[in-house]
């Protein structure tokens, strides 16, 4: 195991939608993060376990802010904001451990209009993986349930 990064923020929305608001600790279940209502996964994706959690890069958020986008932590709907991962190297099947939780990356998260407010002129396609590799959020399935706290180290476990 190689330390890759750090959990900068854990984000949830009890009512669903965005923004997801920060919490200091969370329990991660196979269904997702406790306290986070993921309506999209439940209603549109039939509870798809590959979409249990989502992650995004702190570095990408800062780069987008430098471009003038009003994005901030949690406004793109991510559950975990992570600092220190080389985001363009992310790939399907990658296993990532943080706290006592293990996740497997399922797919880049296609952006939707619900996060449009995070972008100038609602240009949410700015983080579309098909248009700009290495810029999207990622969906993941939960392999091992557990607890996670802000500041926890993030480890790559391979795929």
Question: What whole-number distance in Å separates Cα of residue 129 and Cα of residue 146?
Answer: 29
Pick the closest to residue 61 from 81, 84, 88, 85 (CA basis): 81
Q: Hey, where are the domains in the chain?
A: 2-158
106-130 pLDDT tens trace: 999 999 999 999 999 999 999 999 9
DSSP state for residue 76 in the 8-state scheme = T
What is residue 88's three-state secondary structure?
A: helix
Q: What is the pLDDT of residues 62-100, one digit of tens each?
A: 999 999 999 999 999 999 999 999 999 999 999 999 999
Write out the CATH class of domain 2-158. Answer: mainly beta
Residues forming a β-bridge with 22: 11
Q: Tens of pLDDT along 15-52? A: 888 999 999 999 999 999 999 987 555 454 555 678 89
**How does DSSP classify residue 42?**
I
Backbone angles phi, psi at 79, to 5 degrees: -80, -35
């Amino acid at each position: 195991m190689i330390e890759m990064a750090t959990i900068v923020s854990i984000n949830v929305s009890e009512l669903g939608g965005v923004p997801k608001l920060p919490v200091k600790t969370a329990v991660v279940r196979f269904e997702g993060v406790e306290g986070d209502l993921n309506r999209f996964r439940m209603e549109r994706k039939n509870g798809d376990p590959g979409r249990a959690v989502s992650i995004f890069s702190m570095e990408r958020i800062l780069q987008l802010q430098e471009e003038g986008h009003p994005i901030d932590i949690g406004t793109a709907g991510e559950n975990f904001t992570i600092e220190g991962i080389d985001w363009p190297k992310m790939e399907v099947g990658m296993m990532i451990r943080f706290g006592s939780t293990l996740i497997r990356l399922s797919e880049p998260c296609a952006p939707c209009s619900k996060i449009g407010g995070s972008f100038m002129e609602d240009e949410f396609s700015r983080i579309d993986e098909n248009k700009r590799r290495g810029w999207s959020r990622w969906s993941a399935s939960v392999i091992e349930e557990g607890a996670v706290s802000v500041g926890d180290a993030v480890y790559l476990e391979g795929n």
